[in-house]
């Protein structure tokens, strides 16, 4: 694969193997990372095996208005390339249980999908019977279909769509419900989180989960390399909390304003914390490639994320 032959040029212009400067802690932390695509962005990629390690879990984001046929077609292509596929099931755009069952059947019949990310979705008004991921889980349609892995949403900095008062009361109650469900489900579960930019709040949140008895592993959302203006736009739109200040502070530094953001600092700090505290409940990194899949994948390659070992689970 092309990624195994990747080389970078050092300051003197000399070709050096891409693994020569790896931070061992960061490389270990990136092992088994996942990444998100949409049908329209996937269409721009000629060959995923040139970019993503074998076994990389690929989430397919289901944005309102995307035909299910496009989602399934993308899932089939990725599955045929050898990637575990995890499509989004956004509750608020699913009309009813019959529609949900049909989606599951299409994904399984055409792409062999057995993994799913269940979330409320980004629309304010439900299209039908469902408004939360918990309602999707309660149908037990995923269990009956033999899904082996189910991920649900996590919010390290809260979610004002769920808790408009700025607290985490309803988010915390939902996590307790999901924890109880995980204890009775045969599927492996994880919390796939919103992206954040500051390691300290992430660490504090992850530790607070353990203190609250939440043992579901965390797959931490990280924004991939992108223009600063792009990240700020997405961060505001997605309700990113206190760690948005990291970007705003960077924007005030003229010397950094025009440079692309890279997640090196936040991931290096999380990786060091994981190395020092092996029991730390962040199990994997999940990338939101806001600056493009190729840009994100190449950053991961340069920083040791080129392992061909399969993702967790």
Per-residue pLDDT of 250-293, as tens digits, reads 555 545 556 688 999 999 999 999 999 999 999 999 999 999 99
Confidence (pLDDT) at 64: 94
Max intra-chain CA distance, the chain? 61
DSSP label at residue 261: B
Q: CA 61 from chain center: how many Å?
A: 10
Region 119-141 average pLDDT:
93
DSSP label at residue 239: T
109: burial class by Cβ within 10 Å (0-12, 13-18, 19+)?
Answer: exposed
2: burial class by Cβ within 10 Å (0-12, 13-18, 19+)?
Answer: exposed
Confidence (pLDDT) at 20: 39
Distances 154 to 66, 82, 108, 205 between C-alpha atoms, Å: 24, 27, 26, 10
Residue 36 bridge partners (DSSP): 59
DSSP label at residue 279: T
177-186: long-range contacts, CB 8 A cutoff, minimum separation 24: 177/134, 178/133, 178/134, 178/137, 178/152, 178/216, 179/213, 179/214, 179/215, 179/216, 181/134, 181/137, 182/215, 182/216, 185/137, 185/143, 185/150, 186/143
Q: How are beta strands 188-195 and 149-154 bridged, if at all?
A: parallel
User: Percent of the chain having pLDDT more than 70?
Assistant: 79
Confidence (pLDDT) at 115: 98
**Domains by residue range for the chain, with CATH:** 18-302 (3.20.20.220)
Which of the two residues, 177 and 311, has the higher pLDDT score?
177
Region 138-160 average pLDDT:
91
Per-residue pLDDT tens for 155-205?
887 666 675 666 678 888 999 999 999 999 999 999 999 888 899 999 999
Mean pLDDT over the full length of the chain:
86
pLDDT at 230 over 90: no
Cα of first residue to Cα of last residue in the chain, in angstroms, is 23
pLDDT at 8 over 90: no
d(CA 31, CA 279): 16
| Of 12-26, 159-173, 213-227, the least confident | 12-26
Structure confidence at residue 238 as a pLDDT band (50, 70, 90): low
């Amino acid at each position: 694969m092309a990624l195994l032959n990747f080389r970078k040029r050092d300051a003197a212009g000399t070709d050096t193997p891409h693994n020569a400067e790896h931070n061992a802690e960061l490389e270990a932390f990136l092992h088994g990372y996942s990444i998100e695509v949409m049908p329209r962005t996937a269409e721009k990629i000629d060959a995923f095996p040139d970019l993503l390690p074998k076994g990389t879990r690929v989430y397919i984001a289901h944005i309102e208005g995307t035909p299910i046929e496009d989602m399934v077609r993308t899932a089939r292509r990725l599955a045929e390339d050898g990637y575990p596929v995890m499509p989004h099931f956004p509750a608020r755009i699913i009309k009813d249980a019959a529609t949900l069952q049909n989606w599951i059947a299409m994904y399984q019949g055409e792409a062999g999908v057995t993994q799913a990310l269940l979330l409320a979705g980004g629309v304010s008004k439900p299209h039908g019977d469902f408004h939360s991921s918990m309602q999707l889980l309660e149908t037990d349609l995923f269990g009956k279909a033999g899904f082996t892995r189910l991920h649900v949403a996590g919010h390290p900095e809260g979610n004002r769509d769920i808790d408009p008062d700025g607290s985490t009361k309803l988010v915390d109650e939902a996590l307790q419900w999901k924890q109880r469900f995980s204890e009775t489900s045969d599927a492996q579960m994880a919390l796939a989180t919103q992206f954040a930019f500051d390691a300290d709040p992430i660490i504090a949140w992850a530790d607070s989960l353990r203190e609250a008895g939440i043992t579901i592993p965390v797959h931490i959302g990280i924004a991939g390399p992108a223009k600063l203006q792009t990240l700020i736009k997405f961060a505001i739109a997605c309700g990113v909390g206190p760690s948005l200040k990291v970007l705003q502070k960077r924007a005030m530094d003229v010397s950094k304003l025009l440079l692309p953001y890279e997640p090196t600092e936040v991931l290096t700090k999380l990786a060091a914390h994981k190395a020092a505290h092996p029991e730390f409940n962040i199990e994997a990194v999940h990338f939101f490639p806001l600056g493009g899949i190729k840009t994100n994948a190449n950053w991961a390659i340069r920083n040791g994320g080129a392992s061909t070992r399969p993702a967790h689970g």
